[in-house]
Structure 1
């Protein structure tokens, strides 16, 4: 059994490693090292917490850790890069549900301690947490109850919200925004009832208040995320990440665990900041995201699209590329689905060997998870210095000979600028249509994940290269001089 001082020192070390991990993730070249900081930090946190003072029941804890680790390892090994967004959403749900269970248990322990203390001469042996509760003053117990309420509410919202986000990302739940009759008034009513239950609980009502509170929060999480369209899931996943962090921090206060407080606060604040940045990138209101009204309502019918999509074959694309001096590639989720990143990397190598300027344009919400495209390109060993963010490259499209769009839709949709009634009106997009020629690699003529038609595909300077993205790029490789 380790001393509390030793455990506290380990908690500080783990916290520093977590901070270094987050800081390193902002730079692609340092990201791998940053991930290892996080892994080591978590290993230190689990190990020293498990063997800290007041911890027991190792006969149950160790098998659970082993079983959970094996399941996590097997799931992570089997999940493709295209499935990472839904895996992240699923993991957020576990954090939320854990917060609910821990909070329920904390209140049951509080009630047991108060019941024992009410019996004169009682000598019952308390658990480590119950012993901590037994030393608290009345005002500290009230604060504990507030922590329990917060953890249950945020944890329950995170759980069901993450489950629905997982379903939408995995295609198991309809990606369209749907709400029950009454819309946001149902969410508001459930929130008001939750507040009333919290007041009743703080004034001595029974454990049933926490059960009903959790049920209402489960509904709010479900209904909030069901009311958000599938195209907005990257922002939703980021916001749910923030919620899971705050739920963990609340449980840290409940358990008097400094490491859990620090870790939860880091996750909560970084998730909120990332969500805010992504909202700005999509011209959305941050508060609207939290309230489940992401995107708002359309002002009217979207504009009709005239013209037709003009197809081209690989030979035609290759001929244009051979005569081009500058090329910009815009990757999207379709590239991830086709696992075309290595073929794209080889195409880039051949084009650069021929003396052409080749760069990538990355939209902040490309893919279905922040940084999704950057990870795929790094995996394919694309040089970091040619991977440009939207703000860095948007002004260069008018000077670009060829823009190649691979599996993207909304992030290159000119309707965001031209059609005020479009669901993505006002969203900053990559202005690829300003290039001399645009080639779009796409499986067919259907709409993208959001279900929105893209006028780009009908423009005079756009040509459609239909087919699987990897096969299409592979067919180009042998035709590039």
Structure 2
């Protein structure tokens, strides 16, 4: 009806403003939760459209999407030790309240090369690989599987440490590694792997940031304070494969990158892993 077109545009503007105001105050560390919640909202919108159009298919599919989105949101909130109310309406601590990048990294970051990482891995008996969103972006899961197989052939035990909110939704890393035919018994949940890190020879962090940031434990004013993390910093040696020192969702520096036992391999996740594989094969 052309006469009601004005109401349509008014509703569109109001909905956009409400959505913007709902998301703006939410801290970067909570963005994965918000993404899952917005998925749920899209299902509810489809359900409402189904009722308006008297379309049973829309009602059913929208209800399924809405319910699954709420379930994912609840799982992620529990994994981050937060309530949904706190995520949506809690006080956000801006990243400026935490330490500055130059104070954390200044002169303490140790860059490494694939050959040096290969030498480190040659003498390792226990290796834990920590996948993150960077692995998903670069589609490095198949290269990671190849690295696992090479290390196992040399006699090392290789495990994968899976954080509940690594990636964009619960199970994101599990799905990618399953796609690459990584045996399920190699995947360890956070609560199972954390007590083991002190006995780990080398931990390889591939494209992960906030989920391995020690500030969650040490800085009560941090945007990620209280969020359970993988205790990668407790491993004997840590190798981080990352393009740069840029922050994650939380927008804060990561002291792990400047730790005494950490080496930084600045590279795309897939290219970095492939270079390490090439160095191992060349020895």
TM-score interval, smaller chain? 0.7 to 0.9
Indicate the residue corresponding to 2:235 in structure 1: 435
Structure 2 length as normaliser, TM-score? Answer: 0.86
Matching residue within 365, 383, 390 for 2:190: 390
Report if aligned partners of 2:72, 2:169 keep a CA contact under 8 Å in 1.
no
Structure 2 counterparts to residues 377-416 of structure 1, below 5 A: 377-416=177-216
More helix by share: 1
Report if aligned partners of 1:318, 1:479 keep a CA contact under 8 Å in 2.
yes
Indicate the residue corresponding to 2:41 in structure 1: 243
Q: Provide, for residues 144-165 of structure 1, a one-character-per-residue CA deviation record: whole Å limited to 9, x for no partner.
A: xxxxxxxxxxxxxxxxxxxxxx
Quickly say closer, same or farther: Cα 1:468–1:209, change in 2 above 3 A.
Answer: closer
Quickly say closer, same or farther: Cα 1:406–1:381, change in 2 above 3 A.
Answer: same
Matched, 1:271 2:69: yes
In 2, distance between residues paired with 1:299 and 1:452? 6
In 1, distance between residues paired with 2:192 and 2:213? 18
In 1, distance between residues paired with 2:269 and 2:49? 46
In 2, distance between residues paired with 1:295 and 1:427? 15
Which has the bigger relative contact order, CA under 8 A and spacing at least 6? 2
Question: What are structure 2's unaligned runs of at least 5 residues?
Answer: none
Q: Provide, for residues 172-216 of structure 1, a one-character-per-residue CA deviation record: whole Å limited to 9, x for no partner.
A: xxxxxxxxxxxxxxxxxxxxxxxxxxxxxxxxxx99767645532
Q: Provide, for residues 379-431 of structure 1, a one-character-per-residue CA deviation record: whole Å limited to 9, x for no partner.
A: 32222221222223222211211100011111100001101111111111111
Matched, 1:302 2:101: no
In 2, distance between residues paired with 1:339 and 1:300? 32
In 2, distance between residues paired with 1:299 and 1:478? 39
Indicate the residue corresponding to 1:282 in structure 2: 80
Structure 2 counterparts to residues 460-471 of structure 1, below 5 A: 460-471=260-271
In 2, distance between residues paired with 1:315 and 1:299? 36
In 1, distance between residues paired with 2:124 and 2:93? 42
| RMSD, aligned CA | 2.7
In 1, distance between residues paired with 2:95 and 2:279? 47
Q: Provide, for residues 97-125 of structure 1, a one-character-per-residue CA deviation record: whole Å limited to 9, x for no partner.
A: xxxxxxxx8xx9xxxxxxxxxxxxxxxxx
Q: Which moved more, 1:359-368 or 1:430-439?
A: 359-368
In 1, distance between residues paired with 2:189 and 2:197? 13
Quickly say closer, same or farther: Cα 1:325–1:215, change in 2 above 3 A.
Answer: same
Structure 1 length as normaliser, TM-score? Answer: 0.52
Matching residue within 453, 468, 477 for 2:253: 453
Report if aligned partners of 2:93, 2:221 keep a CA contact under 8 Å in 1.
no
Tell me the number of residue pairs that the alignment of Structure 1 and Structure 2 aligns: 276
Report if aligned partners of 2:124, 2:156 keep a CA contact under 8 Å in 1.
yes
In 2, distance between residues paired with 1:425 and 1:278? 15
In 1, distance between residues paired with 2:149 and 2:44? 44
In 2, distance between residues paired with 1:459 and 1:312? 14
In 2, distance between residues paired with 1:339 and 1:208? 45
In 2, distance between residues paired with 1:314 and 1:463? 11
Indicate the residue corresponding to 1:314 in structure 2: 114
Report the 3-state secondary structure (helix = DSSP H, G, I; strand = E; otherwise coil) of the residue aligned with 1:224. Answer: helix
Matching residue within 154, 157, 162 for 1:357: 157
In 2, distance between residues paired with 1:346 and 1:383? 12
Report if aligned partners of 2:256, 2:262 keep a CA contact under 8 Å in 1.
yes
